[in-house]
Structure formats: C-alpha cells, structure tokens
C-alpha cells in the first residue's frame, strides 16, 4: 500500500493576512447589517458585498496554493506552544471555496425565501448567518487543533439562534437538541481528547503531514482518541449522535441548506479529516491499525441512515437522513486511510455540498410556492415547477453518485479507495447504499413528472415557479453540480496537494 506523504517537500509557507481577511469579511459585515436594520435592501446589500469580497479573497489564494504555497498567519500564543493560527492548505482552501461560494447562493436564496415567508427577526437572522460563515472559514483555515476547536464552538453557538429562529415550541425543542448534542459532544468528548493530545504534545498542535501525535500514543489510545474526536465533532453526524440533524429541520430552509450543505455538517467531517490527516497522520493510524472502529461506525451510519431515509415522508427529514448517510461516506473514506479514499472524502465535501444544497433549496422552493412539505403531496408537481424539479433531479443524481454529476467523481474515488485499502465489505456498503439512495430519490422525481392517475398535458402558462431570488440560486448550484463532472480539475488538484500519492 502506498503511504500518504501529504504536502510535498517543495511547499513554502508564506505569511499573509489573506486568510484572516477572508475570515473577517463576513464578521465585519455584521455592524453594517445591524446599522441598516431598518432598510432590508441595504441590509442584504451589505451581506452580498461581504460575500463577494469573501469569495474574492478566497479565490485570490488559489493560484498561490496550487503553486505549492501555504499562506500562514500567527496571531499570538493562546496557551503555551499553541497560538491562534491560520494556515491555508489544499484541503482548507477547497472547503473555503465551497463555503464562501455557497454562502452567496444561500444569501440570495434566503432573501427570496425570508421575504416570501414574511419571517420575523430578519436582521438577527442575517447577522448570525454572517457570523456562522466567519466561523466556518475559521475552521477551514485553522492552523492547529486548538484554533480549529475554537472556531468549531463558535459555529455551534452562532447557528443556535438560526436553528431556533422561529422561537416557537418546536423551534425550541429543535434548538435544544441541536445545542445539547453539539456542545455536549464537543465539551464532553472533543475537549478532553484535545487536552489529552496537548499533554502528550505540549510543544505544539499544528496540523502537519504525518500528524503531530504520531508515535506519541499507543494503539489503543490512538483508537480511543480517534473515536472521541469523531464523535466529539458531532457535526459529522455519526450515529448515534446524529439526531440533532433531523431535529434541526425546524429551522427556515436557508438555514437547513446552510447547515446541511455549507457550514455545519461539512465542518464536522472537515474536522474529522483534519484529525485523521493532520493530528494522527494516516501512516501512523495504518501502522497501529487504529481506524477500524471508525470505519465500521461510519459504515453502519451509511446503511442505517439510508434505510431510515427510505421510510420518511417529510422531504426535509428525508434529506436530513440522506445527509447523514453522505457524511458517513466522507468519514468512511478518510477512515480507509488509503490515498484515494482520503482524496475522495475531500472531493465529496465539495460535491455533496453543491448537490445537497440544490436539493434543500428545491425543498424550500416547493414549500414557498405551494406550502407542501411531504413527499406524498408532490405527485405531478414537476409539471407546475419544472425548473425546480429539474434541478432536484440533478441534485439527486449527484447525491446518488451517477454521471453526469460531480457526485460521480467523488464516489468513484471513494470506491477506488476501498479497493485500494482492500476492504471489500466496505465496498459492498458503498454499493448497497447507492442502491438505497436511488431508491429514495428516484421515485420522488419520477412521480413529480409522471404522476399516477390522469394528468393534464404540460403547459408553460400553468407553471408557477418560485420567486426569482429563490430560483436563480437553485439553477446556479444545479449547473455547478453538472459542471463539476466535466471540469473537476480544481478540486482534484487541491485534493492532490494533500494526497500526492494519487
């Protein structure tokens, strides 16, 4: 088996404030949002400008990173040996691009959705939205484990008001579940694991190729710590710490989209990837064979969540369980410890993000346009909302992992990863779950366009699409999902930076 060497020796670190500014762009938008709370247009304008700047800043780093640079910025020491530190590498940048780009789409969508829905407290909503994006980029560009943890917690807190946005009883329950799972796991599991790592490696906790903990713990300790991290970062939705995700469905749909596609869950799996590659290092984990338990935890999550999704009628809940399964893919991929598996996980973050955000925005659009949220009610709706359902179709193809969508590429890597690692049972898991995915997505699309019973012929003037602010982002993300199949080079190259063994 080919060991993963990580970043090539030619990598140069370059001190730069770019990651800091990228992270701060949305934070600085908050005063603007608050200042224009009386005029919604100006308020959302501020959000847009900040989003644009953020994306631009992130994209500015692409050429440098591709040419082998690592942008780095250290503030000061938080505790002895460990500072507040940003460092941009391939994985972080890949995630950063996805997050900041999708933030723009979600914002556009949110404007349409929130206005169409006459939601209250929109200023609060957009402020915390911006704050959570700041935290997400902080996680993406975190240079060491402590910085990562800090931004992780910041994200949990800043999304709490979003989840319980409606403020009614259901929202309260959802918010409670959300926060108790996330905070409980991170304080109860991730923090002790973090502190244990620090006591073993007090000289520093920087993510590095081969991992800073490599060789400092025994096999059992490594396995336990790995599980503590994987479950501690409960945003990655490993069963049984997954139920916050369906519970958080009470949030407005843009929030769900943000949670499921952009910020929250992806931060969870991102953290797990970081822990595997940067904290322990795949070599070390392979050497002590510490990841088997994690592999099986992920595999079980994949299968069980797909089965649950099959039985759901509420569209958003179904999508939530689907997300849990897809997160399981990513964790499984990285737990395979093979180069292709790890690369597949990284790519899948991006691919699943675009696909799933499309699906969520479609679900929201359907709800905005018709007030329907159950799958059983959606028969024949493809005829009134053809564009939405076309996008839904593309999104589901990507999630299932079929060409011509980006999901196919990452899934291909993942499957190759299992073969590379020689884990045939896990290959079976991937295949079974793909069939299950198809089984819960395809009927929806099919019934929407070809309902049972008599149907009126399709006519454009009967089309009742959602407001443009909602529709345009859907179409953009759907297009990107398709494009990702044809031009996946950027993602592949960024992933390859981290996994040169490809």
Partner 1 sequence: MMDQMPTILMLAPFIGAVGLSLLAWRRPAAAMPVVFGALAITVLAAVLTLREVLANGTITYLLSGWDRLPERAAGMAVGIEYKIDAFNALVLVLIPAIALINALYLRTRLAVECAGKEILYAILYLLLVVGLCGMVITNDAFNLYVLLEISSLTSYALIGIGRRRAAHATFNYIMTGTIGASFFLLGVGYLYIQVGTLNIGDIHEALMASSELRELASIKVAAMMIMAGLWLKMGLFPLHGWLPNAYRYAPTATGSLMAPLVTKVMVVVMLRMMVSLFGLDYLFAELNWRPVIVGIACVAILAGSFFALAQRDIRGMLCFLIVAEVGYMVGGAWLGNEAGITGAAYHVLSDACMTFCLFLAVAAIILRTGEHRLSAFRGAFRKMPVAMAAFTVGALSMVGLPPTCGFFSKWYLLIGGVEAGQWHYVACLLISSLVNAVLFFRIFEIALMKVEVEESGSFDVDALPEDPEDRWERVPVGTIVAMIVAATAVLTIGLLNRPIASFIATWIGQAVEVAP
Helix (H) / strand (E) containing 74: strand 69-79
Q: Of the two residues 191 and 432, which places its CB atom closer to partner 1 in the complex?
A: 191
CA distance 97 to 92: 9
Establish if 157 lies at the interface with partner 1 (CB under 8 A). Answer: yes
Stretch that binds partner 1, among 167-175, 215-223, 343-351, 469-477 (CB under 8 A): 167-175
Our CA angle for 357, 415, 263, nearest 5°, is: 25
Among 3, 184, 204, 215, binds partner 1 (CB under 8 A): 184
Contact track, partner 1, 22-61, x by CB under 8 A? ----------------------------------------
Q: Of the two residues 79 and 463, which places its CB atom closer to partner 1 in the complex?
A: 79
| CB proximity list for 27: less than 8 A, separation 6 or greater | 130, 131, 134
How many Cβ atoms from other residues are within 10 Å of residue 202's Cβ?
12
In the complex, the smallest distance separating the C-beta of residue 141 from partner 1, rounded to whole angstroms, is 16
Q: Show the tokens assigned to 461.
A: 């003037």
Peptide bond between residue 324 and the one before it cis (omega within 30 degrees of 0)? no
Place of tokens 């530190």: 85
Among 150, 300, 387, 472, binds partner 1 (CB under 8 A): 150
Establish if 228 lies at the interface with partner 1 (CB under 8 A). Answer: no
Cβ distance 275 to 331 under 8 Å?
no
Peptide bond between residue 240 and the one before it cis (omega within 30 degrees of 0)? yes
Q: Of the two residues 164 and 282, which places its CB atom closer to partner 1 in the complex?
A: 164
Site for partner 1 in 107-146 (CB under 8 A): 120-121
Establish if 176 lies at the interface with partner 1 (CB under 8 A). Answer: yes
Count of residues that bind partner 1 according to CB under 8 A: 34
Stretch that binds partner 1, among 53-61, 90-98, 164-172, 494-502 (CB under 8 A): 164-172
How many Cβ atoms from other residues are within 10 Å of residue 64's Cβ?
17
Among 73, 109, 141, 149, binds partner 1 (CB under 8 A): 149
Establish if 191 lies at the interface with partner 1 (CB under 8 A). Answer: yes
Q: Show the tokens assigned to 477.
A: 């993300």
Beta strands in 356-444 (DSSP E): none
Beta strands in 441-490 (DSSP E): none
Establish if 196 lies at the interface with partner 1 (CB under 8 A). Answer: yes
Q: What is the contact surface with partner 1 in residues (CB under 8 A)? A: 76-80, 120-121, 149-150, 153-154, 157, 160-161, 164, 167-169, 171-172, 175-176, 179-180, 183-184, 187-188, 191-192, 195-196, 198-199
């Amino acid at each position: 088996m080919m060991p993963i060497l990580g970043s090539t020796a030619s990598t140069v670190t370059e001190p730069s404030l770019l990651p800091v500014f990228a992270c701060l762009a949305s934070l600085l938008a908050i005063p603007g949002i608050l200042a224009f709370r009386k005029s919604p247009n100006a308020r959302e304008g501020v959000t847009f400008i900040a989003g644009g700047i953020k994306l631009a800043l992130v994209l500015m780093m692409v050429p440098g990173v591709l040419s082998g640079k690592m942008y780095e910025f250290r503030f000061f020491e938080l505790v002895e040996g460990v500072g507040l530190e940003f460092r941009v590498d391939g994985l972080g940048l890949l995630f950063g691009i996805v997050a900041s780009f999708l933030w723009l789409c979600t914002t556009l969508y949110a404007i349409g959705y929130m206005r169409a829905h006459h939601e209250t407290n929109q200023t609060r909503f957009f402020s915390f939205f911006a704050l959570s994006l700041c935290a997400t980029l902080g996680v993406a560009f975190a240079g060491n484990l402590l910085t990562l943890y800090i931004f992780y917690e910041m994200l949990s807190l800043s999304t709490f008001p979003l989840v319980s946005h409606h403020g009614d009883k259901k929202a309260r329950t959802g918010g409670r579940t959300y926060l108790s799972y996330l905070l409980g796991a991170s304080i109860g599991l991730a923090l002790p694991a973090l502190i244990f790592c620090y006591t073993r490696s007090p000289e520093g906790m920087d993510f590095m190729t081969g991992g800073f903990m490599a060789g400092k713990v025994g096999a059992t300790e490594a396995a336990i710590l790995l599980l503590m991290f994987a479950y501690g970062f409960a945003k990655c939705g490993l069963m049984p710490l997954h139920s916050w995700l369906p519970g958080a469905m009470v949030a407005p749909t843009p929030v769900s989209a943000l949670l499921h596609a952009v910020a929250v869950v992806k931060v969870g799996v991102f953290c797990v990837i970081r822990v595997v590659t940067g904290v322990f290092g795949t070599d070390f984990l392979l050497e002590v064979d510490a990841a088997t338990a994690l592999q099986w935890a992920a595999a079980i999550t994949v299968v069980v969540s797909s089965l649950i999704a099959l039985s759901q009628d509420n569209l958003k809940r179904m999508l939530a369980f689907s997300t849990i399964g897809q997160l399981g893919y990513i964790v499984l991929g990285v737990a395979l410890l093979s180069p292709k598996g790890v690369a597949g996980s990284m790519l899948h973050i991006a691919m699943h993000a675009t696909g799933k955000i499309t699906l969520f925005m479609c679900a929201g659009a359907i709800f905005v346009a018709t007030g329907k949220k159950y799958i059983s009610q959606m028969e024949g709706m493809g005829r009134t909302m053809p564009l939405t359902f076309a996008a839904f179709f593309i999104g589901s193809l990507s999630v299932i992992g079929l060409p011509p969508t980006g999901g196919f590429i990452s899934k291909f890597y993942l499957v190759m990863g299992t073969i590379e690692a020689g884990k045939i049972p896990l290959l079976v898991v991937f295949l079974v779950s793909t069939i299950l995915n198809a089984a819960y997505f395809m009927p929806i699309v099919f019934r929407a366009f070809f309902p049972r019973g008599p149907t009126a012929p399709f006519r454009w003037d009967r089309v009742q699409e959602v407001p443009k602010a909602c529709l345009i982002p859907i179409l953009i993300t759907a297009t990107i999902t398709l494009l990702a199949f044809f031009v996946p080079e950027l993602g592949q190259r960024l992933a390859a930076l981290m996994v040169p063994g490809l």
